[in-house]
């Protein structure tokens, strides 16, 4: 096994379900899903360097919410990759945890996918994305879509992916009120749903066409998540009321919510106003990442 690099930095962008429709429960226990997935310019970050063994250090504002032991998804991804490639690879991995944990924006899944990408590079493995996605599928439903971190049409339980043209790089505010919403409980409380009958969207000409398209969709998990954690409704109302907000919605199974804005100034002002009114909430300004899958 030839190690080709001395040190590697890998971003792990936040995953945003711009909409999320739910269909019937499948025979394997999962629900059929349909989602337009984009990524934010903000996220976690991994630093990788050669080492004799696999070891993980976690730092950053949300490091305290994670353990660096064997159950960490980054280490699970590393072990899955060594098993797939038939190697005994080692690496020293530092995860800077900037995103809230278990918050509906794929933090752990993005970290695992970034580990797969980074370790493949560190170890000199020439694996195509489809092969990395196959490894990712064994780690969790949201990990495959995070392998490329580009705009994608997601179906099945998350494993059926269609790459899309880059999305308009709209300004975005992310708010997490600091509550944990268990995904199984959200699905258990699910009532009305839109199903999975939409075709993939056309290329969006700009911000207006993206917003118009999204207004005809929803996040089916939002209502049950709000019933479990009513503060999500408060977050959404605050985001929708901000000057310049074009759309406010919850991502994934919550509790992080986002709003799209035409301009960076309005987004920055909104995040500042909400952060000052609720200093215990996580509030950041970012943009929809515009790179392709």
Full DSSP string of 164-207: -PPPP--EEEEEE-S----HHHHHHT------S-PPPPPPP-SH
Q: 226 — phi, psi (to 5°)?
A: -65, -35
Contacts of 149 (CB under 8 A, 6+ apart): 11, 12, 13, 15, 39, 110, 113, 289, 291, 293
Q: pLDDT value at position 29?
A: 82
Tokens of 280: 């215990």
Specify the pTM. 0.94
In this structure, which CATH number among 3.40.50.10190, 3.30.300.130, 3.40.50.300, 3.30.70.890 belongs to the domain 171-287? 3.30.70.890
Catalytic residue list contains 216: no
Choose among 74, 147, 79: nearest CA to 108: 74
- What residue has token string 């590697």? 8
Q: pLDDT value at position 232?
A: 98
Fold classified for 8-163: Ribosomal Protein S5; domain 2 (3.30.230)
Matching CATH topology for 8-163 and 171-287?
Answer: no
Q: pLDDT value at position 148?
A: 92
Distance between CA atoms of 174 and 106, rounded to whole angstroms?
A: 13
Could you give the 3-state DSSP secondary structure of residue 230?
coil
Catalytic site residue from 15, 44, 76, 266? 15
Q: pLDDT value at position 292?
A: 67
Catalytic residue list contains 15: yes
Catalytic site residue from 44, 111, 142, 220? 142
Q: Which residues of the chain have pLDDT under 50?
A: 1-3
Q: pLDDT value at position 5?
A: 57
Side-by-side strand order, sheet with 171-176? 245-250, 257-261, 171-176, 282-287
Neighbours of 224 (CB within 10 A): 21
Domain locations in the chain? Answer: 8-163, 171-287
Distance between CA atoms of 287 and 171, rounded to whole angstroms?
A: 4
């Amino acid at each position: 096994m030839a190690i080709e690099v001395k040190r590697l930095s890998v971003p792990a962008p936040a995953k945003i379900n711009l909409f999320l429709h739910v269909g019937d429960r499948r025979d394997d226990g999962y629900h059929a899903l349909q989602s337009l997935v984009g990524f934010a310019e903000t996220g976690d970050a991994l630093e990788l360097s050669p080492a004799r063994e696999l070891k993980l250090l976690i730092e950053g504002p949300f490091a305290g919410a994670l353990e660096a032991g064997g159950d960490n998804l980054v280490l699970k991804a590393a072990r899955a990759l060594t098993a797939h490639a038939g190697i005994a690879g080692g690496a020293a991995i530092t995860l800077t945890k900037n995103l809230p944990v278990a918050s509906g924006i794929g933090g752990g899944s993005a970290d695992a996918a970034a580990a797969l990408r980074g370790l493949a590079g560190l170890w000199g493995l020439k694996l195509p994305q489809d092969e990395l996605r196959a490894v990712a599928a064994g780690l969790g439903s949201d990990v495959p879509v995070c392998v490329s971190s580009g705009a994608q049409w997601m179906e099945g339980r998350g494993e059926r992916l269609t790459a899309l043209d880059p999305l308009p790089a709209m300004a975005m505010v992310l708010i997490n009120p600091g509550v944990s919403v268990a995904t199984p409980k959200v699905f258990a409380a699910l009532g009305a749903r839109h199903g999975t009958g939409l075709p993939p969207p056309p290329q969006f000409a700009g911000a207006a066409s993206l917003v118009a398209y999204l207004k005809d969709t929803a996040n089916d998990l939002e209502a049950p998540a709000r019933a479990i954690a009513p503060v999500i409704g408060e977050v959404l109302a605050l985001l929708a009321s901000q000057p310049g907000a074009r759309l406010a919605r919850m991502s994934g199974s919550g509790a992080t919510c986002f709003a799209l804005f035409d301009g960076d100034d309005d987004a920055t002002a909104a995040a500042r106003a909400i952060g000052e009114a609720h200093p215990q909430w996580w509030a950041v300004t970012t943009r929809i990442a515009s790179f392709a899958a």
